[in-house]
Structures are given as structure tokens and as C-alpha cells.
Structure 1
Amino acid sequence: MRIRQLQYFLVVAEEQSFTRAAARVHIRQSPLSRAIKELEEELGVQLFERSKGRIRLTWSGEVFREDARRLLSFLNSVRVRTKAAEYGFRGHLRIALTDGLAQPRMTELLARCREEEPLTDVRVLEMTVSEMAQALKFDQIDAGFTVHTGYQTEILVKDQVWTDRLVFAVPTRHPLLTRDKLSLVEAVQHPMIICHPERCEGGYDVVLRMFRNEGLEPIVAEYVSGHELMMMFVAAGYGIGLALESQVALYCHPNVIIRPIRDEIAEAATFLVRPNRAASPELERFLLRAQKIGEKIN
């Protein structure tokens, strides 16, 4: 069994088409089909059901897909850690960043890690919340940051590290700027720019939960994947944005005015999500640093 076979298998399983999979891995369809056939013969099982040009995984294929992902993830981790060791690192952390988060406190956390623990290699990967959950399941990352209020399961736990106030971002010359604070009832009467339900799932969860707790439903003008794009649409006059206060401070725009929320609402929490098992010493120290930064700010 070769690594290339596993990689081909996962691409075919995702595309559900030998033609699309071959184009994606830049080989002809015949050698790709042959590689999958050889893999099935070696395993002694049928991985795909083929009928009238369509394919789908058999139950054996479904089981093998999870193990193949886990195996490739482990091999990739081996490569990364070995390379890091060559440069003198003694520890290794793989941290996911979701919901477009790039807060100043995240910068401070990473800077502290470099100062206090320079021999631990910290890798940061951007992904969606769903991708983070899958990556944690298959041991592709050690932990991930999100503002999503879910993802406390039997296999995953979350620790709150800090909180942030929600604020409105309003285009200049907007009628609501006559008020120094905006209520949710006032804002919901105008088109809004909010987080995309898939690409920025955590932000979407926070916003929808806040409005629905008040029995309100926003008028969505545009969905965005992050705060930078939100500020662009707000500045262009597409609608009002709702964002984390520390985040919008990174994307100041002369055509956007920030207004506090008048209502008494809970602050949005940022969580570090990790597998429900004993954490490595490096991850424990990483979590403690994050929580200390949160205590200092809050």
C-alpha cells in the first residue's frame, strides 16, 4: 500500500468521479483507476460501487476513508515535526483559526509563545468551524479558536479564553448615526452585513442567537467570510455591520462609524476547542497563556 494510492483514493471519494479526480491530481484517468483497483485487490474489498458512470463508496470504503485520512494526517505530522526538529524545535502545536479571527489578543498570544517557549513550533492554520471539528477528530490539529457556542461533545471540549463586545459598523451619512448608541430593534429595520453561515459559522451563530433571543430576524443584505470584507461592504453603503469590537479596530475605514449596542446583551466569547483527552504540556501552557491574556483584557 503506497501513500499515493491513499491520496488518490481520498480524492476519488470526495469527487465521486474518476474524471474529476484525475483532473484534480493531474494524471490520466486510466492510471488513476488502476491505482484504485490495485488498492482494492490488496485490501481484498470493494471500495467503490460503480454503475452507469457514477460511483459511490461502499461501507468498507466509508470505513477505510476515515482510517486513510487519519494515516495521512499522521504521516504529514511526522514530516512537519521532523523538519521542525531539524531547526531546533522541541515541541509542536497545530492551532486552527476560524471565523476570520485575527484579534490583537491573538497576536499577543503568539508573541508570548515565541518569547516564553521559543523551542515549541506553533503552526496556525485558517479553516472553517466544520473543518476544524473534522481536523480535531482526525488528529490533524491540536486545538482551534472559534466564537461558535456549540462543539461541546463527548470527543471535544472547549475552554473560554476571552470575551469581546459586539458593536455596529454604520456607513457615513446613515440615518441611524443621529444616535450615539443603537438598539437591536432599530438596527434590524435596516439591511445588514452578517457572517456567512458556513464560511464564518461561529460569527453567524453569535449574531443569529443574539437577534433571536430578542425575537428579531435581521434583513440580510450580504453574507461575508470575515471582518475585512464586512467593513468594505459597510463603507460602500450596502448595509450595517455587526462585529467584534477588537476586530473592527483592525480594519478602520474613513467611511465607517462604530456605534455601541444600547441593549444589555452578553459579550461574545472566544473558545479554544480541543480533543477530550489529556492535553500535551505544550497545549496546557498555550491554553493558560490565552486565558491570562483574557483575564488581563477583561
Structure 2
Amino acid sequence: MSVSMSKEARARRRADRIRDKHANDLPRSMRPNAFVKTLTIVVLVLVLIYFLFPIYWAIIASTKTPSQLTGSNGLWFAVPLNELPGAIADNYATLLGWTRGQFWRWVGNSLLYSCTSALIGTIVSVMAGYATAKFNFRGKGVAIGIVMACMLMPAALLTIPQYSIFHTLHLTNTVASIIIPCSVSPFGFFLGRVYAQTSVPNELLEAARIDGAGEARIFFTIVLRILAPAMVTIFLFLFVATWNNFLLPLMMVSSDELKPVTLGLYGMVSLATFNDRGALMMGALLGVLPVIVLFLGLQRYWQAGLAAGAVKG
């Protein structure tokens, strides 16, 4: 039984390779020449090195002491490979010491702020984008114009007015003071509207209405499924924007227990006695790992979402 299954699997893989080969065949006039292929590969390799080198350097630097950072080869470890676990453990202990054991609490705070803001912002963006793309109502053009104008305003310009509002409402130094502003995204609304315009057929909506479905049921059972890949793109955009946000937490939060990892590491570096850059690099590396894992885990949906609004219909 296992022999026959292995033969079938090999035959299936062979058929898939043949199909892929013929599917990618192009006419001779459309095939790139050898120079273009070589140039493309070289450019892609350079771009890959450009993006991966900072991560590689952060991994190397996170294993070194302050003296080793300046006195050893910057592109390789300062200790033999068999001593790396000890060097990593020492820098990790130093990191926890400088942060008074609150480093992982800061990472958890960043995850809480980013996930909650991205989830709320994605739902709001898709709902608002769908409403303005598929419904006509009085003041629609004015509302869209105001939201689009907000895209031109830098986030730093809005931070002080937001602080004044939240201070008046006695909401500063709370979780809500970070989640609420980060949940509102004009760019997320723009993406949601574009995706709804190009990916949700009007004929499908009309068919659902003829069958007796209400607007809420159409949105939650049909539209959200169609826009699922696009929602992943909006979610990732809002997640990264909230995770990297520094000025807003700096203005809103003063308690160490509520700081995100970006603000916490900044406070550690600001100490007059701080001089351990290796521990700082370890903190930066561990602090960015959740973002890397999220991107890799949602890569398939994210790539589909990028192309969801590219073709109308």
C-alpha cells in the first residue's frame, strides 16, 4: 500500500513540474535575454543584503560586551562559537537588570497595543471603506475629502492636540490613550475603500439583497470573506505603525508598567550610567521578533491582499 502511494506521489509531483514548466513558457520575443536575467539577479541579491544585513549585525552585536563592540570584528562574533550561549545569557541578564525585569512586560504591552489597535482599526477601516464605496448618502464627498485631507497631516502634528483631549478626559497614562488614537487610520480607510470598490462585485450584493439578506448580514457573511486578504494587509500596516509609534506613548504614558518596548528601551538608553550597547541590541532584536514572526505567518494572506485591489472586477 505504501509503495503504491509513493508511486502516485512521485507521479503527481512529476505532472506538477511538467504543468508548471509549460505554464511558464513564453514566446521567444518575450523572453528576457541573459544580461537582463543576470542584472535582475544581482539587483535582487543586493536588495536582499541591504535588508538582511542590519538583522545580521544586530544578532552579532547582541552577543558582545561594550569593549568587544569596539575592539573586535564588527561582522563576526567576539567569542568562539562554543562560548556563544554564555555570552548570550550574560547579555540577557544585563538587559533584564537594566530594565528592572520589565522588558517582557514592555513587549507584552506593545503586543496588546498593536494587536488591539490593528484589530479595531481594520474593522473600522473596512466598514467605513465599504460604506463609502457601495452606498450613496448626503455629505459622502465631503466626508471622503476630509478623511483624505487627514492623510496629508503628519502624525506628530496631531499628537499634542490628542494629548490635550485625553488629558481633559482624564485618560492620559491609560491603555486607552494609546489604543484609541492608533485605531483611527485615514490610510486604512483609503485602503478599505479601494479594496471594496475593486473586489466586491455590485452584482453579488444585489443578488444577496434579492434573496432577502439584510445589509448587516451581507457585510459580515459575504463582504468580510471577500476582503479577508485585504484586511490582513490593513491589519499588518496598523500593527507595524502602532508598534513603531514612539511620540504618542512618550506624551501619553508616564508609568513604567504601561510603556511599550520602544519607549522602555529609550528610557534605558537615557540613563546617565548606561553604556552596555550589546544589551541594547539584544533588547532591540527581541523587541522586533514578534513583528518578524507576524509577517512570516501572514505572508501568504498579505501577498494576496496587496494584489486584491489591483484589478477591478
Query: TM-score of the superposition, structure 2-length normalised?
Result: 0.25
Return the index of the structure with the highest Cα Rg: 2
Query: TM-score of the superposition, structure 1-length normalised?
Result: 0.26
Question: Whose relative contact order is higher, 1 or 2, with alpha carbons under 8 Å and at least 6 apart?
Answer: 2
Which of the pair is proportionally richer in helix? 2
